[in-house]
A and B are shown apart, each in its own frame.
Chain A
Amino acid sequence: MYNPLMIKIDSLVKRIKKKTAVDGISFEVKKGKVFALLGLNGAGKSTTIKTILGFIRPTSGNVIVDSTNIGYLPENPYYYDYLTLKELLAFSLSSSGIKDRVKERINHMAERVGMAENLDKQLRTFSKGMVQRSGIAAALIHEPELVILDEPMSGLDPLGRRMVFDLLTELKEKGATVLFCSHILSDVERLCDTAAIMNKGKIVRMFTREELLLASKQTEVFFEKSESLKEAVREMQIAEYDQTVGVFVDSADIVSFIESMKLKGFNAVTVKSADNALERIFEEAVR
């Protein structure tokens, strides 16, 4: 029977040496979708990924993964120093049982990650960015159904980040399921179908691409900070600053909102387009 879910995590708890790294999280990743896990360092993202991959066992809860054809890029990957990139990629292919067009696949993938000229060099001679590119190539060369990338943009220059972005877009178009962690919010914004923000082991906010797009269409209207203002907009989404309070309003309703607030005695100080919607959501969630 066709299972529409690639990953199902139910009430996952993971304690490591008395510390609760993951605290009862639940989420699902549908097949063919891109799911992003966001959060500050130590939020529990990598622990969640390691549980999905079976490197660690859950203290409680369930993790179901509906594929064994997985491509994985660890955070700060470390490979075999004395292997060449060609050997690393050949190992990736052979360990996935792929024996046909090996040379062609290796050359193509090396080309895609901008490492074609380094195929015969040993990995110990590579810079951090080159190791990251090699890791991405090793994770994707066997055309996995499920791709799990832990900080794929880490250590990459702007061109490298563009390359990863293009690869992920291509994977998405091909129908692969992607789960990735990232600190680069703009990439998450453009790529993911669903994202979850983790903080202190918990999922504190989850949103879809549609919600994110909706949030992007909002405008932040600033007023002088006061208790009466907060009371007046208590039904609305706000952000508090030192001197002001920002109220998020749908861009289409901005004029009528400012007018109605004026009638209540609150004059808008300034307005700002909320084009950094994810950043705002992220800051609010982890605050």
Chain B
Amino acid sequence: MRQVCFITFLEGVRNRVLYAIFVFAIIIMFLSTIFSQFFMQDLGKVVADFNLSAMSLAGLLISFSVSVGLIAKDLDRRTIYFVLGRNISRRGYIFGKFAGLALLIICAYIIIFLLTHIPILLMKASIPAYFKNFSWGAYALAAFADLIKCIFLNTVIIFFSSFVTASFTTLVFSILIYIAGQSLGEVLSYVSSSETYSAIAGFLNIVKYIVPDFSSLDFKTVAANGIMPPAGIYFGSIAYALVYSAVLLLLAGIIFERKEFP
């Protein structure tokens, strides 16, 4: 498992797409210093929101481009023969892949998180009056929750990769599940407020227990307002994501053990 983790991490780190994503994230971060000035009263809030969003977007792009490529392409291009031809169990392969991806994402998040300090500190130093409510603690907690969300998304990608053969199909499934998981909460609250959609609301109430709820890990808005998230909700969401991820990984391991590679 350790060997798979290591080569996955190396492959990810050397992927040029990763650097393009970093550059893109940095551009967004620094654009925040320009765009935030259109919202003077909310300048601190907009800067924080922009930078957290840049981090989140970078995480998504890494997941959908680098992660999907690292797993599904093993199957697409039959690199899997080389790995499974060694003394590596199929479960070891799945867990190793996950560990490698998680390590890659953690490193990417740490770097982007540190980089986001630059525009925030710059703006805070130049216009401190608008950063009275800004809280580094809330900002860090929101960034950490986003990191967990990204790792959670990667377990979804691994889960799909365990039974889908084409990388493009894995990509489409993962994007659809992400969109559903990110917007389900909002859709549910909207349809629940109207009696017209009571049947849909009932259906969505069942779906919400199946589809991973990525929106529960979104603390960007509270962080932008400098508010610490309630501990119960915050740690509950983190625990939910970790348990769900563990279940998905176990299922992926079981499915992968039964999979054939003709």
Contacts and interface: CB of A to CB of B under 8 A. Distances in A.
A78 B260 contact: no
Contacts of B6: 91
On chain A, which size bracket covers the interface? 35 or more
B86 to A, nearest CB: 4
B79 interface: yes
A78 B11 contact: no
Contacts of B262: 16, 21, 47, 50, 55-56
Contact of A79 (B15, B82, B88, B261): B82
A76 B87 CA distance: 21
A70 B88 CA distance: 11
Nearest to B16: A82
Given A55-B261, A57-B260, A78-B78, A72 B85 contact: yes
B79 A80 contact: yes
Interface stretch (A92-100, A110-118, A266-274): A92-100
B78 A50 contact: no
B78 A95 contact: no
Contacts of B85: 53, 70-72, 74, 139, 148
Contacts of B77: 78
A73 to B, nearest CB: 8
Contacts of A71: 85
Contacts of B3: 91, 94-95
B239 interface: no
A256 interface: no
B261 A50 contact: yes
A106 interface: no
Q: Which secondary structure dominates where chain A touches chain B?
A: loop
By Cβ-Cβ distance, the 4 closest A-B pairs, closest first, are A72-B85, A82-B14, A95-B86, A74-B81
B11 A82 contact: yes
A154 interface: no
Contacts of A47: 262
A132 to B, nearest CB: 13
Contacts of A122: 14
Given A55-B261, A78-B78, A95 B10 contact: no
Nearest to B81: A74
Contacts of A148: 85
Interface of B: 2-3, 6-7, 10-11, 14-15, 77-79, 81-88, 260-262
A89 to B, nearest CB: 12
Nearest to B8: A80
Interface in A40-70: 47, 50, 53-57, 68-70
A96 B87 contact: yes
Given A82-B14, A122-B14, A95 B87 contact: yes
Nearest to B12: A82
B20 to A, nearest CB: 15
A83 interface: yes
Given A16-B262, A70-B85, A83-B10, 9 more contacts: A74-B78, A74-B82, A78-B77, A79-B79, A80-B7, A80-B79, A82-B15, A91-B3, A91-B86
B260 A83 contact: no
B82 A97 contact: no
B87 A55 contact: no
B78 A83 contact: no
B13 to A, nearest CB: 8
A81 B87 CA distance: 21
A180 to B, nearest CB: 14
Contacts of A72: 81-82, 85
B260 A53 contact: no
Contacts of B261: 50, 55-56
Contacts of B81: 55, 72, 74, 77
A95 B82 CA distance: 11
B257 to A, nearest CB: 10
Contacts of A97: 87
Contacts of A224: none
A212 to B, nearest CB: 29
A143 interface: no
A57 B261 CA distance: 9
Given A96-B87, A122-B14, A77 B82 contact: yes
